[in-house]
Amino acid sequence: MNLLAATPIPRDLPLPLPVPEWLLVVCLVVFFLVHILFVNLMVGGSLIVVALEWMGLKNKRWDALAHEVAQTITVNKSLAVVMGIGPLLCINLLYTMQWYSANALTGHAWLMIVPLVTVAFLLTYLHKYTWDMWTSGGKKTLHQLTGLGAALLFLFIPLIFLANVNLMLFPNEWEKVKGFFSSLSIGNVLPRYLHFMAASVAMTGLFLAGWFGRRSADLSHLDGFTRPELRRLFYKVCAYVTLAQFVLGPLLLFTLPAAGITNELYVIIFSGAAVGLLTVWVLFGELKRDDSRIGSRYWLIVALFSIVVLGMGSGRHVYRQAALAPHQAEIKERTERYAAALAEFNKNLAAAPAPTEQTAEQLFMNCAACHAPKVKLVGPSLTEIAQIYAGNPDGIVAWAKAPGKKRPELPQMPPFAHLGDASLRKIAELMLEKGQAAK
Amino acid sequence: MDFPSFYMDHLAGGRLIIGLIASLHVLINHPLAVGAYPLLTWMEWWAHKNNRPDIDQLAYRITFIVFIVTTTVGAMTGVGIWLSTSLFAPFAIGSLLRVFFWGWFLEWFVFIAEVVLICWWFLSWKKADTPEKKKKHIKIGVALSIMSWLTMALIVAVLGFMMKPGEWNQTRAFLDAMTNPLYAPQLGFRTFFALMTAAVFIWFSAFFFTKTTSVGDDRPRRLRRWIVYRMSHVVLVSLVGVLLFGTWYWNNIPETMKANSSVALLTQDFMSWHGQFQSLLGWTVIAFVIIGLGGLSDLFTMPRWALLIPSFMGIWLLGHFERAREFMRKPWVIGEYMYSNGIHKDELAFLQSEGLLKHATYVKHREVTDANKVECGKDVFMLACSRCHSTTGLNSVLDKFTAMYGGDKPWDPTGMTLFIKGMHQTRTYMPPFPGNEKEAEALVAYILQLREKPETLHGAQTEGIVIAPPIKQSNLAATAER
């Protein structure tokens, strides 16, 4: 019960969703998968490039291959960023109260995304465009370090997003969070991270098998490789890493906090895993084929993977939906309660008799913060004013409407023309009266 | 605002960070994307038509710079505006997303097209080696120019809307927000400003690619002459547009101020700004005119450093323009709907009567007592003031009260409370205080303690959150009945 009491139930923004919820959910799931595919290719690509370039120190053909893979990263990274906007838009709308709260709680890291990604991108370009110059110019180590720097950034940045996606699911834990690093101990960030990283390498493997395997691929820079050889190589990367997912996937599933676990989730995930098993079987079957036939089932494998990924993406959403359903309901209730109280108050306010004209004393409250009877607060005292404007209330009115600057030691008075001549006149008379009395 | 408060005390809440990211984005987007793409496409077309591979090569080299900068710093600062606003003003960005969903959604598709086209255009440049391929390649450049202008046209609608929502307050309709009264002048101003600064940028970067390599070879010099002559035309023509739309925009602002402000009055700060902007605009225009005319002349070559003068003045002018845009929005974040601290117009009286803390979530106490006064004041500060003010850093409350009450004298708590309750009357760019009497007193107690013992106020990103126990059900029922 104590734990429940600590769950924040904020009020939602009083504006309706601009589109039906189900449509936003479909957009979120689909667009997110498109985004994450390009992120996978960017992250996995940069890791593979680092590995291949290192292998290239012994045998030049690997260096050439690394260079070719590097060409794809800069395009994939641009698409990864731009494709991220849609899902971010959807998640902002569907989970406004949870998403922004997670952002704020990990705020410094969230803000660091901007410079970190920028630097990672610049390093990626530097790595790509200095390849020949630095390799032949004796700066190979520097070149490798540039690639490694980008890869390390790409290894770290996803953790920030994962921390947010994870933290938003558990509002009852928010009170424990003190900054980004402490948010990593909530939920199951690490298994999620490992699952994502493995997917990045596997997806990049599959992509590169198709990229270099396609008939129109220009392999003129890759003397040391034949097309079937490249297909086989990247198929292997994809196959073995995907095999590892059968350990990492269950690890993720069984470390998920109970909050959103439902039978529906198990059905979706295990169906996805079953198709995954089939995919791996087809993939290993493909690897056994000889050079003339390897690659002919590429699109079948891509289709099977798409089904798996769509299943896992849907499962992910089903978990989120279930985990946050009670919180969403409580927010809705609190928001409605607040709206009702507010409407009631405003109704009574409108029904109340129109406020009578303000008295001079009430109007003077506009001035009292700066003008006191005897002492100089911000502006001159009332006794002083009464001396200057004795018998001349209109002089005060004129000044208050367009004040100048007479005293260098005091801040300039702001204009009060908005109060209207009649009210200003009332104030002026009261000021003179008070100033006389205080003498 | 019913979100955990991200807050960076020394940077006036962190607003400065949004400002820096946004300014950097605009400074890249206008000259390097919106303005440069059409000019570079035009160069490519001209080179193709007149068979001038040297001009094609020059356009390609400048496009390389544009490609690298826009797809890294340009793209990430664009996303960064969103990420940082999500932290500092989730109430505002959250509301805007619900109002402007279709605008943003459309913007996203245009943006995807822009990214795909810039990658395609730049990366396939060298592969377009036949006249047919070249023609197709030029068309990619044209499409890119259109898309990049469209992204700006859509986002300007959002900016304009935040200042002056027009009919939206009555109808809550998307199209009304799109056709708000400041839209056309702002878009025109930005378009011509982009072309003008892009021309200076291309001119400037051309110097690096047209160095004389061997004595007697005057081709680089002639190429430089070619580009300078044409870019100075672009500068002069765009300048007329900047001037016309800038004047139209600027003349609309005082009226917008009047319409937006509950009081028909311009503040002194704003009046002095108005004057400053006019003279700045004048000098910037003169600088661009000199550059433009100088570029037309055959007698001498404008030195490279001279181009930096109008460039910096242009940056300064644009900064002023964006700052005025932000300023005139006040005290609103969405005109006549939501104040800059996230309080809705229609809940102001309610909160002033009921109390701000009572209905907040991320606060330590819900009711002010003598014992918890300062702690309550701190929460009130976070909710009502922290989106613009810091405690002891930039734009700090201490500075503001020091200016009024002096640094050497004791400050009168009663006077301060009075001032806080009425400050929207004297500082019309500030929202009204959204709490009850006791909360105003608590805020003053907190400020006075800050004065005694200046202490940094930490945000949710380091301190985490505290949640006061929920309001008792019986109290709530009483509220609803009242």
pLDDT per position as a tens digit, A219-248: 988 988 999 999 999 999 999 999 999 999
Mean pLDDT over A14-36 rounds to 94
- To test the contact with chain B by mutation, choose from A17, A78, A185 the residue with the greatest count of B C-beta atoms within 10 A, namely A78
Mean pLDDT over A63-68 rounds to 96
Residue B191 — φ and ψ, nearest 5°? Answer: -60, -50
The CA dihedral of A360, A361, A362, A363, to the nearest 10 degrees, is 50
- Subunit contact B419:A342, Cβ cutoff 8 A: no
Residue B168 scores a pLDDT above 60: no
- Structural domain spans, chain A: 15-341, 360-438
Candidate from A101, A176, A342 with C-beta closest to B3: A101
Candidate from A8, A16, A103 with C-beta closest to B465: A8
User: Among B32-46, B159-173, B317-331, B435-449, which stretch is predicted with the lowest mean pLDDT?
Assistant: B159-173
Mean pLDDT over B21-30 rounds to 90
Rounded Cα–Cα distance for residues B156 and B21 (Å): 17
- CB within 8 A of A375, min separation 6: which ones? A381
- Mean pLDDT, chain B, integer: 84
Distance from CA of A204 to the nearest CA of B (A): 20
Look at residue A75 in the predicted model and tell me its pLDDT: 93
Q: Look up residue A222 and give its DSSP letter.
A: -
Tell me the pLDDT tens digit for each residue of B282-334. Answer: 888 888 888 888 888 766 677 778 888 888 888 887 777 777 667 667 788 88
| Residues of A whose CB is below 8 A from B68 | 122, 125
- To test the contact with chain A by mutation, choose from B6, B93, B121, B473 the residue with the greatest count of A C-beta atoms within 10 A, namely B6
Residue A1 scores a pLDDT above 50: no
Percent over 90 (pLDDT), chain A: 71
Rounded Cα–Cα distance for residues B387 and B5 (Å): 9
- Subunit contact B350:A118, Cβ cutoff 8 A: no
Bridging pattern class, strands B332-334 and B338-339: antiparallel
Indicate the SS3 state at residue B478: helix
Q: Which two tokens stand for residue A32?
A: 């997110």
- To test the contact with chain B by mutation, choose from A12, A90, A114, A364 the residue with the greatest count of B C-beta atoms within 10 A, namely A114
Catalogue the E-assigned strands of B293-390.
332-334, 338-339
Residue B257 banded pLDDT, cuts 50, 70, 90: low
- To test the contact with chain A by mutation, choose from B262, B426, B473 the residue with the greatest count of A C-beta atoms within 10 A, namely B426
Amino acid at A400: A
Q: Which two tokens stand for residue B440?
A: 């105003």
Distance from CA of B33 to the nearest CA of A (A): 15
ipTM of the complex: 0.89
- Subunit contact B3:A10, Cβ cutoff 8 A: yes
Candidate from A18, A79, A365 with C-beta closest to B418: A365
Distance from CA of B439 to the nearest CA of A (A): 17
| Residues of A whose CB is below 8 A from B467 | 6-8, 175
Chain A, nearest residue to B407 by Cα: A378
Residue B264 scores a pLDDT above 80: no
Task: Report whether B84 contacts A91 (CB < 8 A).
Answer: no
Candidate from B6, B105, B346 with C-beta closest to A107: B6
- Subunit contact B97:A106, Cβ cutoff 8 A: no
Residue A376 scores a pLDDT above 60: yes
The architecture in CATH of the region A360-438 reads Orthogonal Bundle (1.10)
- Subunit contact A416:B97, Cβ cutoff 8 A: no
Distance from CA of B29 to the nearest CA of A (A): 15
Look at residue A74 in the predicted model and tell me its pLDDT: 92
Nearest to A127 by CA among A213, A201, A202, A63: A63
How would you class A240 by CB atoms within 10 Å of its CB: exposed for 0-12, middle for 13-18, buried for 19 or more?
middle
Candidate from B112, B264, B460 with C-beta closest to A104: B460
Rounded Cα–Cα distance for residues A152 and A203 (Å): 19
Rounded Cα–Cα distance for residues A294 and A231 (Å): 7
Sign (positive/negative) of CA torsion B341, B343, B344, B348?
negative
Q: Which two tokens stand for residue B402?
A: 């020091």
Chain A, nearest residue to B258 by Cα: A418
Tell me the pLDDT tens digit for each residue of A260-311. Answer: 899 999 999 999 999 999 999 999 999 999 998 898 899 999 999 999 999 9
Task: Report whether A109 contacts A160 (CB < 8 A).
Answer: yes
- Subunit contact A17:B79, Cβ cutoff 8 A: no
Q: Look up residue A175 and give its DSSP letter.
A: G
Nearest to B366 by CA among B351, B348, B344: B351
In degrees, rounded to 5, the angle at the alpha carbon of residue A177 between the alpha carbons of residues A173 and A180 is 130
Tell me the pLDDT tens digit for each residue of B450-478. Answer: 999 998 999 999 999 988 876 655 454 44
Residue A5 scores a pLDDT above 60: no
Rounded Cα–Cα distance for residues B476 and B482 (Å): 10
Distance from CA of A283 to the nearest CA of B (A): 31
| Residues of A whose CB is below 8 A from B95 | 13, 15
| Residues of B whose CB is below 8 A from A100 | 3, 86, 90, 94
Q: Within 10 A of A100 (CB to CB), how many other CB atoms are there? A: 26
Task: Report whether A368 contacts A375 (CB < 8 A).
Answer: no
Candidate from A13, A85, A86 with C-beta closest to B98: A13
Top-tier CATH class for B345-481:
mainly alpha
The CA dihedral of A47, A49, A51, A52, to the nearest 10 degrees, is 160
Residue B272 scores a pLDDT above 70: no
In degrees, rounded to 5, the angle at the alpha carbon of residue B222 between the alpha carbons of residues B217 and B224 is 115
Helices marked H in A95-226: 96-105, 107-129, 131-136, 140-167, 180-183, 189-213
Mean pLDDT over B437-443 rounds to 95
Q: Please name the residue that has the structure tokens 């029904």.
A: A351
Mean pLDDT over A361-381 rounds to 82
Candidate from B17, B75, B415 with C-beta closest to A377: B415
User: Among A40-54, A100-114, B368-382, B394-408, which stretch is predicted with the lowest mean pLDDT?
Assistant: B394-408
User: Among A360-374, B142-156, B264-278, B366-380, which stretch is predicted with the lowest mean pLDDT?
Assistant: B264-278
Residue B263 banded pLDDT, cuts 50, 70, 90: very low
Residue B479 banded pLDDT, cuts 50, 70, 90: very low
| Residues of A whose CB is below 8 A from B105 | 86, 89
Q: Which two tokens stand for residue A311?
A: 């299943």
Distance from CA of B216 to the nearest CA of A (A): 30
Indicate the SS3 state at residue B390: strand
Q: Within 10 A of B99 (CB to CB), how many other CB atoms are there? A: 22
| Residues of A whose CB is below 8 A from B83 | 103, 110-111, 113-114
Residue B185 scores a pLDDT above 70: yes
- To test the contact with chain A by mutation, choose from B69, B86, B154 the residue with the greatest count of A C-beta atoms within 10 A, namely B86
Chain B, nearest residue to A12 by Cα: B2
Mean pLDDT over B339-355 rounds to 93
How many DSSP H helices and E strands does chain B contain?
20, 2
Look at residue B165 in the predicted model and tell me its pLDDT: 56
Look at residue B482 in the predicted model and tell me its pLDDT: 41
> What's the full length of chain A, in residues?
439
Look at residue A182 in the predicted model and tell me its pLDDT: 94
- To test the contact with chain B by mutation, choose from A4, A72, A82 the residue with the greatest count of B C-beta atoms within 10 A, namely A82
Look at residue A247 in the predicted model and tell me its pLDDT: 96
Distance from CA of A369 to the nearest CA of B (A): 5
Position with higher pLDDT, B299 vs A67: A67
Tell me the pLDDT tens digit for each residue of A89-147. Answer: 999 999 999 999 999 999 999 999 999 999 999 999 999 999 999 998 889 999 999 99
Look at residue B286 in the predicted model and tell me its pLDDT: 87
Chain B, nearest residue to A2 by Cα: B469
Look at residue B478 in the predicted model and tell me its pLDDT: 47
Task: Report whether B177 contacts B99 (CB < 8 A).
Answer: yes
- Subunit contact A92:B86, Cβ cutoff 8 A: yes
Candidate from A11, A178, A338 with C-beta closest to B463: A178
Mean pLDDT over A58-73 rounds to 94
Candidate from A81, A174, A415 with C-beta closest to B79: A81
Candidate from B73, B349, B461 with C-beta closest to A118: B73
Mean pLDDT over A25-34 rounds to 95
Candidate from A85, A118, A369 with C-beta closest to B415: A369
Task: Report whether A342 contacts B350 (CB < 8 A).
Answer: yes
Residue A2 scores a pLDDT above 50: no
Position with higher pLDDT, A147 vs B209: A147
- To test the contact with chain B by mutation, choose from A12, A15, A348 the residue with the greatest count of B C-beta atoms within 10 A, namely A15
**Cα A130 → chain centroid:** 32
Residue A352 banded pLDDT, cuts 50, 70, 90: confident
Nearest to B345 by CA among B355, B354, B333: B333
| Residues of A whose CB is below 8 A from B463 | 178
User: Among B78-87, B232-241, B275-284, which stretch is predicted with the lowest mean pLDDT?
Assistant: B275-284
User: Among A51-65, A180-194, B200-214, which stretch is predicted with the lowest mean pLDDT?
Assistant: B200-214
| Residues of B whose CB is below 8 A from A409 | none
Burial A256-277 (b: 16+ CB within 10 A, else e): bbebbeeeebeebbeebbebbe
Residue B344 scores a pLDDT above 90: yes
Tell me the pLDDT tens digit for each residue of B3-21. Answer: 999 999 887 667 788 888 9
- CB within 8 A of B249, min separation 6: which ones? B182, B185, B186, B188, B189
Instruction: Compute the half-sphere exposure of residue A310: CA atoms within 13 Å on the CB side of its CA.
Output: 10
Position with higher pLDDT, B103 vs B201: B201
Chains A, B: CB contacts within 8 A come to 222
Look at residue B172 in the predicted model and tell me its pLDDT: 53
- Subunit contact B68:A125, Cβ cutoff 8 A: yes
| Residues of A whose CB is below 8 A from B404 | 370, 378, 411
Chain B, nearest residue to A98 by Cα: B3
CA distances from A253 to A187, A270, B225, B279 (A): 11, 10, 67, 65
Residue B161 scores a pLDDT above 80: no
Q: Which two tokens stand for residue A219?
A: 């392999």
Instruction: Compute the half-sphere exposure of residue B323: CA atoms within 13 Å on the CB side of its CA.
Output: 14
- Subunit contact A412:B268, Cβ cutoff 8 A: yes
